[in-house]
Structure formats: structure tokens, C-alpha cells
Amino acid sequence: MTGLSIPRLDDAGVLRGTAVFGDDVQFPGAIHAVFLRSPHAHARIVALDAAPALSIAGVLAAYTCADLDDLQPLPFQSPVPGPTGAAAVAPPLWPLARGTVQHVGEPVAVVIAETAHAARDGAEAIRVEYESLPATVVARHAGDSNVVALYRLGDPDAVAAAFATAAHRVALTVRNNRLAPAPMEPNVSIAAWQDGRFLLSTGVQAPHTARDLLAKSLGVPPGQLRIVVPRMGGGFGGRVVGAREDAVLLWAARRLGRPVRWRADRSEVFLTAPHARDHDTDMEGAFDAHGRILALRAQVWVNLGAYPTPFGIPIATTTGNRIADGAYRVPATQVEVACVRTNTVPTGAYRGAGRPEVVYRIERLLDVAAGRIGLDAAEIRRRNLIPAGAMPYRNNAGQTYDSGNYPAILDACLAAADWHGFPARRAASGARGLLRGRGLCYHIDTTSGLRPDETVDAKLNADGSFAFFSGTQEMGQSIADTYRALAAVQLDVGLARIAIVQGDTDRVASGVGSYGSRSLFIGGSALQQAAAGLRVSLARAAASLLGGGPEAIVFDDSGVRSRAANTALTWAELAQRAAPQELTATATFAASFNFPNGCYTAEVEVDPDTGVVTVERFTGVDDVGTVVNPVVVHAQVQGGVAQGLGQALLEDCTYDASGQLLAGSFMDYAMPRATDVPWVSAVCDERYPSPGNPLGAKGAGECGAVGAPPALVAAVVDALHACGVEHLDMPLRAETVWRALARSAS
């Protein structure tokens, strides 16, 4: 099933301003919460008195950790042990700080009032005395005592032997800068206590996972908490699960007997929502005389921030390093990842989640190696890419790449980019006083999640409409529209007859959620199978009512018809006359990891007088398997490239030495604007579908964010190569580039 023409029905409300986002949700009698946050990166709380807040008109309550003594810390998970070999251990993440604060912005108290203004005034009235403690912000320098988890992969002896005999040994230190996911919509949560149960309206990508984590903090069974997700203004991984503040809101709603709402402002999002990336890597490669990889070695320091988030350690270790070898034949690999606590905002998922960091370190090493060995950037990759004949291919992380033709994708991208016509374009730029460079990346992703399955329930409603219940989550990526089309094709009905139900843990029985580009190939496959099963059941029911066998039943948008008996029923009539068990179907689908891949090239112009970088061309060929919804796939690639460009050229959550965040608003954190993003000339090669799911899809949501940063950095460095620049760390802002040029001139 490929190339469906799918109207984006869910966009109508957004365009008309009638869509209900988080802050549009209204609970009668709701009151407002404001959190008092630490101004210190690391400090002991000497004294904390919330009583003065109660003197502010409209303030109903003020709570500190001492009041919330029945709440438990929010858990984290670690698939790898701590540095001693025992289970990973970190300070507990209490909903409100207890005893010490570990990063600027950590919540210390909460004030609840009739209005948000009164709650802010109350928060400012709280008296806190802190004893400042030493802070650390750089993972590499944090010390062994701050290492929470240690991951090791590969064969050190084989790697050492390869380096001992290598014709070329290349070493490079690379930094993957810290990012803020920064969705358009900030955190908005509304908590209520209704009929002996908790209710939370909030924007999360994995509602059932969020429910389970919050239930542990509340000390209640998961079924006592219902999470409902309104329309979300973006997720990008940063909103997989709920915030620590949500546990406080739920506790307060039960305590006060009224709904409690919290809307973060943008600066608050920067100080509290999980950041991402922040890896330092010492990367080494051993190559033979022809530029073929003999071994790779990486020592990585990952900044977890003050606390490990639920996904922080898995992303940094087992998730990203499933593709530790990239798309290349690597005889021997050695990777060590130290997951380190610092006094910064905790890090978690963000588009690509561990894979951009791995691909970046390999691709930058290959570019430096190509320059030193004397090879073209494309040629060194061609000599090392896994050949099509080797598929399926098992890498050194034990993962099997099940399909693909990486050399063919490389050649297709080079042709589309007119790679060999670059010298003429460089000369034309030079004639205008500009430096032109080109860069190349062969990226590979690994999709899925912490669980490889999804279950979808399907039913024919009494009014003749169809409903499909999925635990994946619409968050602006149009997965609901794609699901609707898959169901409509299976049932031969119009799109308007199909409802996709998501984002309600009471209505949807189970779900893993939407992240890791898993929604289509796992959730979509489950939905397609549920629709097929429902069709079989409805055909049998119709045959028993209309005459003839199930094979004689014809489906269309109006209902069912028997070719054998020349009789018909509308969908509503069938729903009323068939047995209830004949109106439903359930399917569970599980799949192993997928490995979408592709090649990107970028060309940039650099103004040598100012260091300003302009992206002139960006070309890509992606293998995302079967493309079910072309419009959405193109949009996903374009959006991912835009975020990758932001990381490469603009974005950085920087801290000073004392742990103060220096990029706490869009005045300081430079998001790409429309004028920064070039036209992305990207196509998909569908010749290599995944054999692991009935759709043949591999996942498309993160390719751009994985592959764009290495290509863009390589292009800028290539533009500066004649000035003696071999590598620069992201982001390559104008000042960074200008200083590199100034150093080369001095």
C-alpha cells in the first residue's frame, strides 16, 4: 500500500482556529498553580517558609516538599549498570525539591490561587534561604562520582589489534551541542479529582506510559488515573511523558477538591522541560591504505543533567548505539559511554534520540579521515558502505539491517545534487567574494521504542461510523489522517466515516505511544490488521442477514450488499441487527527494529568578512521503505532537516560555570526562521521495503534531524578548508565561523 492521496482532515480546525489545544481546555471551577523555582544550580535549602504566600489575596494554598510526604519520587530506567557493575543509582526525583536543589529552575514550592496573577504574587512572597554549593555543568569534567551508568560495547582487543596495524589512524574530538526541543505549545496541564479518581489533561506523546509513571509517584494503581490528551502543538520527543509538576497538580487537586491548572511560560519551559543531546566524544578510526575502516573506537561523556529522566539513559546508551557502526562495514568496534550527572536541566528524548549523536561522530570522523588520506568525501563512504549483497547485515551491536542498498542511495543522491558540478558553483561563489563548501552524510536511523508492539481495537458504531482505538498519539504529524486512510482502504468506505481515537487512557486499553518513528510501521500495521479483521467479521454478519456467503458481500460507503441475494443494509442497519461480538475486532502487531537510511548533501556560502553562513542547496535521497502518505513523509523530512539545521548552525543551550542557563528564551536561543531554511530537494527511494511489517514502512520522522547536522557542518568546514580549518563544533554561528577565519589569518 503506497502513495495514498490523503486529505488532511485534522488540519481544518487548526487553520480555522477551532482546534482545542491544551490551554483551550476548560474545567469548571479550575484554580491556578505557579511554581517557585530555584535560582541556584546547586544549593542546600536551609529554610523554606511558604506561609507568607497565604497572606496574598486569592491564594488558597502553598505547599512544599514537607506537605507532599505521601508522594514518591518519579522513577527512571537504566538498561545498563552503574560504574561498579551494580544497578544504576541516582538522587531521587521528588516532585518538589527535598533538602537540596540540583539545577536552576528546579521546583521548590507551589502556590495555588484563584488567578494565575495571585499565584505568582504568592510564589514571590515565599521565603527561602539557600546555602550555595559547588556546581558542575560539563559532563567530561564532572568526576567519576557523578557517573550514574556506564555502557560498554564491542571487542577492545580486536580494536587494539586493528589500530596497531593500521596504515592511517585518525582521532577527533566532537561535541554534540545541548538543545531544547521547544515545541510551539508550552506545557499545559489541568489536574482534577473526580469520583474517586485522578484526571489529567496534558500534552504527552505516550499517555499510558505517563499514566504509569505518575501513578507510581501518587502511590495508586494505574487505573485510578486517567490521562486525556488534547490536540498538541508539537512534541519532538520532549513530551513523551508527563512533567514532575503533574504529580504535584494531581495531589493538590485531590487535596483541594478543585481542578488545578498550570501553564508554563516560555522561559519556564527552557528551565524545566527536558533538554537533549549534550555529548562529548573522543572518536578514533583505524583505516587501511585504501581508506577502508578497520576499527572504530569512541569514548563518550553524556550529560544527563541533574536527574536521569525516564528515557535519558536508554537513549544515550542502548538506543543510539544500536547503530554504533553507522551504515558501514566495521570489522571491530569499541564504545564506552559514561552517563554523568551535572547541575543542569535533565536531558531526555528529542527527534532522533541518541542516533544523531552516533551518526554525527562517525560522519565527522570520515570527513577528517578523507582529508588526511586524500579521498573525496563520497569516495571514502563508497568504499565503506555495507553492500546490497550483504543484506541482511548484522552489525557489531548485534542488530540486523534487514534491507537496503546503501551504495545505490549514495549514487542517486550524488546525481541529484550534481556533485561533480560543484567546482563550477564554487568558482561562481568565489567570483562574488564568497567561500563555498559542500558536505555529505550517509545517515542511518533505528526506529521503534522500549516495547515493539501496539494493539488496536476496531468497531462499527451504532450510527454506522467506524472507530479505531490506538495507543499511539497524534501530535501534529498527521498520523491520525494516515490511519484513517489505511482503515478506509481496508473497508472500502470514505474517510469521513472513520474516527481515530487516541489520547485517552480510559477509552484506549493500552499503548506504547508515539516516538522513535514507530507509529506507522507498528501502530499502522496493527490498525490495518484490525481493519482487515473487522471486515471479515462484518462480512460474515452481513452474509447471515442478507444471504449468500461472506465472499458475496460488497462493502461501500453506504453499507453492505450481497451480490448473491441482491439485498443490502446500511452500516447503521448492520450495526443494529448484527450480534455485538460481530461488530468489533482487535489486532496486536509487534516488529523488530527498522533501519531507515539515506544520503544528504549540502552546499553553503560563507561570507569571509562576517562569518555568515547561507545554505544554498540541500539534496537528499531517503530509504524509508514504503511511503504510505507522501505528503506527510515530505513534511517530516523537511521539518527534520529544519531542526537539524538549527542544531548545526544556530541552537545551543549554554550554561555559565556556575550553572546559570544563558539561553533561557528565544531572545538567546536561536531557532531557525523560514529565511534560514533552504528548499529541501528530497526524494524517497521505495525499492527496499522493510520485510518486517505488512506496510513495508521503516519510519520517516527523524531522518532529517539525524542526517542534516553532519552534512551542514561538513559543508561549512569544506568552505573553510583552504584556511586550514579541519573541524568546528556546532553550532556554527557567524561569530564561530568568523573567529575561525580570523585565527587562520593571524
CATH number of 453-590: 3.30.365.10
Maximum alpha-carbon separation in the chain: 91
Q: Is the peptide bond before 392 cis (omega within 30 degrees of 0)?
A: yes
- Structural domain boundaries in the chain: 12-134+187-263, 276-447+593-745, 453-590
The average pLDDT across 371-377 equals: 97
Q: Which helix (H) or strand (E) segment is 147 a member of? A: strand 147-154
Give backbone dihedrals phi and psi of 493, rounded to 5 degrees, phi first. Answer: -125, 170
> What pLDDT is attached to residue 1?
59
The average pLDDT across 602-625 equals: 98
> What pLDDT is attached to residue 6?
77
Question: What digits encode the pLDDT tens for the residues 178-194?
Answer: 999 999 999 999 999 99
- Say whether domain 276-447+593-745 belongs to CATH 3.30.365.10: yes
Q: Is the pLDDT confidence value at 635 over 90?
A: yes
| Region class of 149: left (phi > 0), else alpha (psi between -120 and 50), else beta | beta
Q: Is the pLDDT confidence value at 308 over 80?
A: yes
> What pLDDT is attached to residue 482?
95
Q: What would you report as the CA-atom Rg of the chain, rounded to the nearest whole angstrom?
A: 27
Contacts of 19 (CB under 8 A, 6+ apart): 13, 231
**Would you call 92 helix, strand, or coil by DSSP?**
coil
Question: What digits encode the pLDDT tens for the residues 460-485?
Answer: 999 999 999 999 999 989 999 999 99
Question: What digits encode the pLDDT tens for the residues 202-211?
Answer: 999 999 999 9
> How far apart are the C-alpha atoms of 706 and 443, rounded to whole Å?
7
- Residue labelled with grid coordinates 562517525: 362
> How far apart are the C-alpha atoms of 244 and 221, rounded to whole Å?
18
CA atoms within 13 A on the CB side of 571: 23
> How far apart are the C-alpha atoms of 707 and 440, rounded to whole Å?
9
CA atoms within 13 A on the CB side of 540: 12
Question: What digits encode the pLDDT tens for the residues 649-677?
Answer: 999 999 999 999 999 999 999 999 999 99
> What pLDDT is attached to residue 5?
65
CA distances from 82 to 317, 322, 340, 342 (A): 12, 20, 10, 16
Burial class (CB in 10 A: 0-12, 13-18, 19+), 58: middle
For residue 292 the three cell numbers come to 577502508
CA atoms within 13 A on the CB side of 280: 12
> What pLDDT is attached to residue 464?
98
Question: Is the distance from CB of 409 to CB of 621 less than 8 angstroms?
Answer: yes
> What pLDDT is attached to residue 746?
76
> How far apart are the C-alpha atoms of 720 and 718, rounded to whole Å?
5
* Planar angle of CA 480, 482, 484, nearest 5 degrees: 70
Question: What digits encode the pLDDT tens for the residues 696-732?
Answer: 999 999 999 999 999 999 999 999 999 999 999 999 9
pTM of the model: 0.96
> How far apart are the C-alpha atoms of 360 and 348, rounded to whole Å?
18
- CA end-to-end span of the chain: 60
> How far apart are the C-alpha atoms of 176 and 264, rounded to whole Å?
27
Number of H-type helices and E-type strands within the chain = 17, 28
Question: What digits encode the pLDDT tens for the residues 342-366?
Answer: 999 999 999 999 999 999 999 999 9
**Would you call 370 helix, strand, or coil by DSSP?**
helix
Helix-helix angle 630-649:703-719, to 10 degrees: 40
Return the number of other C-beta atoms located less than 10 Å from residue 135's C-beta: 22
> How far apart are the C-alpha atoms of 585 and 583, rounded to whole Å?
7
In this chain, the answer to whether the domains covering 12-134+187-263 and 453-590 adopt an identical fold is no
Question: Is the distance from CB of 509 to CB of 455 less than 8 angstroms?
Answer: yes
Total residues belonging to the chain: 746
**Would you call 149 helix, strand, or coil by DSSP?**
strand
- pLDDT category at 451 given cuts 50, 70, 90 is confident
**Would you call 291 helix, strand, or coil by DSSP?**
coil
The average pLDDT across 148-160 equals: 98
Task: Single out the residue of 483, 484, 482, 478 nearest to residue 496, CA to CA.
Answer: 484
The average pLDDT across 616-635 equals: 96
Q: Is the pLDDT confidence value at 4 over 90?
A: no
> How far apart are the C-alpha atoms of 666 and 670, rounded to whole Å?
6
Question: Is the distance from CB of 269 to CB of 99 less than 8 angstroms?
Answer: no
| Region class of 669: left (phi > 0), else alpha (psi between -120 and 50), else beta | beta
DSSP assignment of 454-513: EEEEEEE-TTS-EEEEESS--SSS-HHHHHHHHHHHHHT--GGGEEEE-SBTTTS-----
Question: Is the distance from CB of 62 to CB of 118 less than 8 angstroms?
Answer: no
Return the number of other C-beta atoms located less than 10 Å from residue 216's C-beta: 15
Task: Identify the CATH class of 12-134+187-263.
Answer: alpha beta
Alpha-helical (H) ranges within 143-243 are 156-165, 207-218
> What pLDDT is attached to residue 242?
87
Mean pLDDT across the chain: 96
Percentage with pLDDT > 70 across the chain: 99
